[in-house]
Each structure stands twice: as structure tokens, then as C-alpha cells.
Chain A
Amino acid sequence: MLNTMSFSAQIPLSLAASAVPAVECQGVTVRFTTERGTVTALENIDLTVPQGSFLSLLGPSGCGKSTLLRVVADLIAPTSGIVRVNGEAPEVARQNREIGFVFQDAALLPWRTALENVLLPLEVGGGARRSNNRDPRELLALVGLSGWEDAYPHELSGGMRQRVSIARALVSGPKLLLMDEPFGALDEITRDRLNEELLQVWESTGTTILFVTHSIYEAAFLGQEVLLLAARPGRVRELVDVNLPSPRRLPQRETAEFVELAGHLRRVLETC
């Protein structure tokens, strides 16, 4: 353990970053067997996500977006195919705390304050010993919650809860952040604001982000690329490059380029 750590520290960072993609999927297929028969949630997915990029996953309900994130996070094993996270098996990446996960309903523990929730990853799974850990208070400040450290989840609004869960996902300093419709339950104004802030977090941390959403605008505004998935069975429909200038700011969504891009995404989505 100690050996591998000192060894990996000697690899020049730039070389390692450019050589190994953050996520690599080769022919990934996931089938679920239930009483009603077998469902193919994902079929033959090939995907490469470079380090530090922001990929939006867009597709109709039931096309396997959550399943794809769960395979990458090692929450389920693929039926066939190969998944690599930072060049390793997802299980290894998970054990090394290279993966952060943000759930749709925030999944905060109601008996813990905001700060205690952010501390959870450091209390379990040997999280305290890692070198990439960040200061939980600074992370709460980063997501705009300084002063709310001692508030319980029921005292926070939905948007604030989701901010806490983002801080919690970042506390182990993950290289990859998986987000499953994190803002799906929020009103549009709050969602817009969190979108902009998420981009700031992404720019400041350099984390790779896989972001699942139902919203065409969210997908196009956030992602450097948008991966469109088709349903039954879940498969890659199209990988759309988003050529918008950065840093992205909300007014950009009214530009002709953006409107055209959103129109294209909508037309493809309708045929999925």
C-alpha cells in the first residue's frame, strides 16, 4: 500500500493525466432479471471520458442513465464488458476514494448537521487516512453554506441540502464526480444558480464530472459534450460536442448558437 503510493507519486502528473482517461467503457452491457423477465438496461456502451472534462448524460426515462453511473461507481457489476476508472477497476477506484457520488434526493443523514454530513466520508471506510482530504468547512463555504454548519437537514431548503451533498462528495478530493439528476427536484431559478456554481466548482477543482439530467438546457449549458442515450435497450445515440465559449454564464443560453444546439438535442431526443 505504502509502496504503491510513493510509486504513483513519482509519475509526472501531466503525463498521467493525459494518458489515462477518467472513465472508459468497452462494450458494457447490463441486464436485470426480474419476475417479469429480463431487461436490458444498457447494451454495448463504448465511452471514453478524458480527465477533467464535463460530460452530460441525456436521454428519455428508463434509458439507463442511472445504471451507467452505478456501473462506473461500482454499485453494480456489468453483465459483460469492461469499465475502467482512472485506468483501474471501478472497485479499486472506489476503495481509493477517487469517486464522489451525488444522489437525486441529496441522501443526507437527518440526524447529522450539515457539517457532520460532510464529515461522514472521513469517518467511514478508512476515509480519515487519505491524503487528498479537504477541509469540510472550506467546502461548505465553497458551496455557499458558511454559517449553516450546525443546521440539520430538515432546517435546510432542497437546494441547500443538495449543496451539502455536493460538499460531501468533494471532501475526499475525488478525481471523478458522478451526479444523478442532482437538481431534478429544484425550482428553475435555484437550478440555474446551482448550475453556474457547479461550473465554478468544476473549474476550481479540476474534477471530471458525469452529470445525468432530464433537462436539455442543463445538459447543454453544463457539458463540454452531451451523450444522448436511446431507450430499450439503453445505447449510445449520439455524442454531441458543445462549442460554447467558457467561462459559461447563464445569459449565454439566449445566444443563437445555444438555441440551435438545444434544438438539435431536442430533435435527436424525440427519436430516442
Chain B
Amino acid sequence: MSQSTLSPGVTPVSFGGAFANDESERARFVSAQRRLAWRKRLLPVVAIAGLIALWGAVVAIFDVQPFIAPSPWAVASVLVEKADILLANLVPTATEALLGFLLGNLVAIVIATAFVYSKAAEEAFFPVAVMINTIPVVAKAPILVLLLGNGMEPKIAIAALICFFPTLVNMTRGLRDVNPQALELMKVLSASPREIFWKLRVRNSLPYLFSALKIAASMSVIGAIVGEWIGSTSGIGALIIQATYNFDSPLLYATIVVGSTFSAVFFSVISMLERRLLKWNTARAN
């Protein structure tokens, strides 16, 4: 690189020494990072295994009846034997949760954008959003079933409604709470409103959006399940009701395990996306 074209006679100050070109130091850093990553993965597994062992011990020692609480092995065998039934019921629930997640977050993002550009829109509609949010899910569910019928639609709507509020609040904040000096910088650079939106506001909102999406991932599954409690013949929610009425506690527990596992996978996918997209932010958080 020719320095002279730009700055004749200027010697740039070198920070070369600040990069410890020390291989062993780097190797130590990498291995410490790897150890931390393994610990992060192993500890939850150990904790869950411990809790299952404790549960098994309690059931065995106190001789708990199967219709009150099953043993872990009973649940495990149901998970294997009735895998087809469980998975067949997971499909509608997962579909409702995913569609509700997409719909609720999309609408929330669009409305948050409108709020940031129009104070009047926020003043008019934010109280409405708060009011809808204060209605408990179990109360929203029957209303939506009456409105939308017995298919997937009311479940999707419930999942969407549950996702909607946290994303609306976080996204509005993320789009709005931009460093004021960064905004002034954009003005000095004569940036257009579109450039300010995409290059500043949207990027600034992503960490806020992802913390909302992580909440929404598990909430949307809860929404779909609660929706299925009312007049549904398939889905994780329907299976829960059915197993409860039949005092089939191993099936009930197995159903819950399947539902939670899906929820956890959904959450992990969002977390992974977050780490991938917000490298700068996750590095800062550590």
C-alpha cells in the first residue's frame, strides 16, 4: 500500500506491538474458549439427568401410583411405543405455532415501524395493544374459536397474539433508541430517510428484536397448545386433555416432553440465528 499518495512525510503510528503475535498465548485463549463452550453444553445435560434421577427415586421410594405420577421409565417407554401418535399430534401444533410466530412478529414489526414514524399512530394504538395484551390467553381462546371456527385459524391467531406484544414493545424501542450522535452523523452525511432506516434504525433494533423473538418462540407454542384445549381433536393440546381425562399419566407426561422439546428446539434455532447475525453483540455480551 503506498502511503505517499495520501500523506507525504507522515509516519503512521504503529500499533503492531498491541497484537501479541505470541502463538502459545493464542493457543491458551482458544483452549480456554473451547472449555467454556463445552461446560455451557454439558452442565444443563447433567442438571436434567440429575432431576430425572431424583424424580425416579421419589416415585420408587414413596411408591407413587401411576395415575398420580408415572415413573421416568414408563414415560420413556410411551415415548418409544407411541412415537407415531405423538409426532402426528406435534405436526398441527408446530404448524400453528410457527405460522402464529411469523404472523404475530411480522405484524408487530410493521406496527412498530409505523409507531416510530408517527407519534399519533402510537398514541392511538398502543393503549389498544396494551388492553388486548391484558386479556388472559385462556379468555382469548374461546373468543377466537367462536370467531374463527374449529380449524387451525384460531390457534394461529392465539399464537400470533401472544407473540405480538413483546415484539411490538421491543421493536419500537430498538428502532427508536438510536444513539443521537449517530443520527446527527447521518444528517451530516445527507443520508436519506430510507438509508437512516435500513442502515441505522433496523440494525440498531436487531438485538432488541431477537430478545423478543426468543420469548415469542416458546410463547407461540404455549398459545397453540392452549388454543387446542378448546374443541380440538388433534394436536399436543388435545392429547393433553385426552390423557388427563383417561388418567393416562405416562401419555400426559410424554406429550408434555414432546411439546417442550419442540419449544426448546425452536428457541435454540432463534438463539443460533441471533449468534450468527449479531456476532458483534454476542461478543460484547460475553
Contact = CB atoms under 8 A, between A and B. Distances in A.
Interface residues of A, number: 49
B189 A109 contact: no
B59 interface: no
A109 B191 contact: no
Nearest to B8: A204
Interface string B187-204: 111111001000110010
Interface residues of B, number: 36
Contacts of A109: 182, 200, 203
Nearest to B190: A125
Interface string A110-130: 111000000011011111000
B61 to A, nearest CB: 52
Contact of A110 (B19, B190, B280): B280
A248 B37 CA distance: 52
A211 interface: no
A111 B278 contact: yes
A174 B283 CA distance: 34
Contacts of A141: 1, 3, 12
B230 to A, nearest CB: 44
Contacts, number: 110
B5 interface: yes
Nearest to B200: A109
Interface string B1-35: 10101111110111110010000000000000000
B10 A204 contact: yes
B175 to A, nearest CB: 14
B184 A75 contact: yes
Given A110-B280, A147-B16, A200-B10, A95 B190 contact: yes
A112 B204 CA distance: 11
Contact of B185 (A101, A123, A137): A101
A138 interface: yes
A139 B12 CA distance: 10
B276 to A, nearest CB: 13
Interface in B89-148: none
Nearest to B178: A109
A120 B13 contact: no
Given A109-B203, A120-B199, A152-B283, A125 B6 contact: no
Interface of B: 1, 3, 5-10, 12-16, 19, 179, 181-182, 184-192, 195, 199-200, 203, 206, 278, 280-281, 283-284
Interface of A: 70, 73-75, 94-95, 97, 99-101, 103-105, 107, 109-112, 120-121, 123-127, 134-135, 137-139, 141-148, 152, 154-155, 160, 193, 197, 200-201, 203-205
13 contacts: A73-B188, A101-B185, A103-B184, A105-B181, A107-B181, A109-B200, A120-B185, A124-B191, A125-B192, A138-B3, A141-B3, A142-B6, A205-B7
The 9 A-B residue pairs whose C-beta atoms are closest, nearest first, are: A144-B13, A125-B190, A107-B181, A204-B7, A124-B191, A124-B195, A103-B181, A154-B284, A125-B189
Given A146-B1, A148-B15, 13 more contacts: A73-B188, A101-B188, A103-B181, A109-B200, A109-B203, A120-B189, A123-B195, A124-B199, A141-B3, A142-B7, A142-B10, A144-B14, A155-B283
